[in-house]
Amino acid sequence: MRWVKGVIFTILLVIGFVTVGYFYIDYTLQSPKRDQEVVIEVPEDTSLKQIGQILKQKNLIRDDTFFRYYTFFRSKTNLIAGTYIIQPSDDIDKIISKISAGKQDLVTIEVPNGFDVEKIALRLSSKLNIKKEDFYKEVNRKEPRTNIEKEIPTKPGRAYKLEGYLMPAKYEFKKGATAQEVVDQMLNRFEKELGKLDYKNQLQEKKLSLDDWVTKASLVVKEAAVDKEYPIIAGVIENRLTDTKHVWKLQIDAAIIYAWALQGEKKERLLNKDLKIDSPYNIYENKGLPVGPIANPGVKALTAVLNPEKSKYFFYVAKNDGSNEHYFSETEAEHKKFIDTSKENAKKQQ
């Protein structure tokens, strides 16, 4: 009978190990109590091991050692990339089910550097089903909802009050987000980024208003295609605005293109007659800055306006040689030569 006892003991021992192992694995795949939502992003081509690591880093599971094996056990190995909101009550099974079903709770939308209100509206309408009219109404709201709005002036002829203040960035919005929620988040991001620049002291030193600063930066971001030219073009704009020997008009094509776009006409190439458009954004005809920003600039363009490169340049023209850079010149005669060179370069690129 000893062998019977031995078998029973062995069976009980195995059962004990299995039970302890089960509870241990279950313990590692549980998460500490939480009372807030947790957002996780699963990038494309992420392995099961990496997803387990993400869950551990987000404190959604205690340990990721057995995560892969558990997904095999649950037949949930086909986990789909995306952004998900994990609720406080979601356990490992709900988390895996949500990711394997690909039911994303957030929509990722990127607002590129230099996008204007109308381009943002188009992207929001396709990604979040926000009506363009609702977005336009929100960027022209009269009652400020954020601190930065209180500093933005209302000017006659300005198309969109909040143009220039919708910080370019990658955003994550909940499905069903309203135009108001989207605008609030963009403005808060703008204010957060500005806080890193100590802009108030610098604007005071330069005797520059917030709106003029943002307007200048919007011109820079539309004119410069490479980051290194931001300070140079900011310097050219500064030279034209402050020169005491000549009365310069800024004559920036991007502002004319913006003015035509507001009238529903997309201009790829400007003709001389296009420069006569009746608009407060026409800085070929009007001296000084346009009535407001023509795009939404990022931090680099804003920083360039605060720290423009000092030079004697008053002119620039695109090289058209594939570099996306410009020729800069001090005199009109030199500028005309560069225009000819630019035209020759363009022919070579065809």
DSSP string covering 213-272: HHHHHHHHHHH-SSGGGHHHHHHHHHHHHH-SSS------HHHHHHHHHHTT---SS--G
* Residue 96 pLDDT: 76
Domain boundary among 145, 162, 195: 195
- How is residue 325 annotated by DSSP? -
Helix ranges (H only) for the chain are 2-28, 48-57, 67-73, 92-101, 117-127, 132-138, 179-195, 199-206, 210-223, 230-242, 253-262, 299-306, 332-349
Instruction: Answer for the pair 333, 244: CB distance below 8 angstroms, yes or no.
Output: no
In a domain, 294, yes or no: yes
* 282 & 341 share domain: yes
Domain boundary among 82, 101, 120: 101
In which domain, by residue range, is 293 found?
199-349
The phi and psi torsions of 30 (rounded to 5 degrees) equal: -90, 165
d(CA 161, CA 172): 24
Q: How confident is the model at residue 80 (pLDDT cuts 50, 70, 90)?
A: confident
* 163 & 214 share domain: no
Give the count of domains, the chain: 3
In a domain, 5, yes or no: no
d(CA 204, CA 199): 8
The phi and psi torsions of 42 (rounded to 5 degrees) equal: -105, 105
Please identify which residue in the block is written with the tokens 């605060």: 306
* 281 & 173 share domain: no
Range of lowest pLDDT (28-32, 262-266, 281-285) = 28-32
| Per-residue model confidence as pLDDT tens digits over 126-157 | 988 899 999 999 999 999 999 899 999 989 99
Domain boundary among 137, 160, 195: 195
Q: Name, in order, each residue with C-beta under 8 angstroms of 337's C-beta and a sequence gap of 6 or more.
A: 329
d(CA 139, CA 181): 11
Question: The CATH number of the domain where 83 resides is what?
Answer: 3.30.1490.480
Cα within 13 Å of Cα(259), Cβ side? 25
| Per-residue model confidence as pLDDT tens digits over 268-311 | 889 999 999 999 999 999 999 999 999 999 999 999 999 999 99
* 208 & 315 share domain: yes
| Per-residue model confidence as pLDDT tens digits over 35-73 | 787 777 788 777 877 877 877 777 777 777 766 667 776
* 328 & 272 share domain: yes
* Residue 98 pLDDT: 76
* 180 & 207 share domain: no
Give kind and range of the element (H or E) at residue 172.
strand 169-174
- Which CA distances in Å does 331 have to 231, 316, 338? 19, 10, 11
In a domain, 147, yes or no: yes
* 176 & 121 share domain: yes
In a domain, 18, yes or no: no
| Per-residue model confidence as pLDDT tens digits over 159-212 | 999 999 999 999 988 888 899 999 999 999 999 999 888 888 889 998 999 999
* 190 & 250 share domain: no
* Largest CA-CA distance found in the chain, in angstroms, rounded: 115
Instruction: Answer for the pair 108, 68: CB distance below 8 angstroms, yes or no.
Output: no
* 89 & 189 share domain: no
